[in-house]
């Protein structure tokens, strides 16, 4: 039979280090671009473009903010 050696690791006590939060310019530019698109659609013809504005708004509220992160 083979012998199994275990090397105990001491637990890391204290708070884990927090990494510095820096914003990704691409993330911020992407949000700005979507807002500008909604503003443009609302100014040109808000009644006709309402479905497009709602689609962009839904995308921003659900997918864009949940899946994309400036920290990744």
pLDDT in tens, 9-49: 777 777 777 767 677 788 778 888 888 998 999 998 889 99
Q: Per the domain annotation, does 3 fall within a domain?
A: no
Q: Per the domain annotation, does 9 fall within a domain?
A: no
CB 70 within 8 A of CB 23: yes
Give CA–CA dist 13/72, Å, rounded: 26
Q: Per the domain annotation, does 18 fall within a domain?
A: no
End-to-end CA distance of the chain: 46
Q: How many distinct structural domains can be found in the chain?
A: 1
Q: Per the domain annotation, does 42 fall within a domain?
A: yes
DSSP notation for 9-33? -----SPPPPPPP---HHHHHHHHH
Q: Is the pTM of this model over 0.75?
A: no
Q: Per the domain annotation, does 46 fall within a domain?
A: yes
Question: What does the block give as tokens for 49?
Answer: 């473009």
Across the range 65-69, mean pLDDT stands at 52
Q: Per the domain annotation, does 6 fall within a domain?
A: no
Domain housing 37: 25-67
């Amino acid at each position: 039979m083979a012998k199994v050696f275990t090397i105990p690791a001491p637990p890391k006590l204290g708070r884990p280090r927090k990494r510095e939060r820096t914003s990704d310019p691409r993330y911020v530019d992407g949000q700005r671009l979507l807002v500008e698109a909604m503003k443009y659609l609302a100014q040109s013809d808000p009644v006709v473009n309402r479905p497009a504005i709602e689609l962009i708004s839904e995308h921003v509220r659900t997918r864009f903010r949940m899946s994309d992160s400036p920290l990744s």
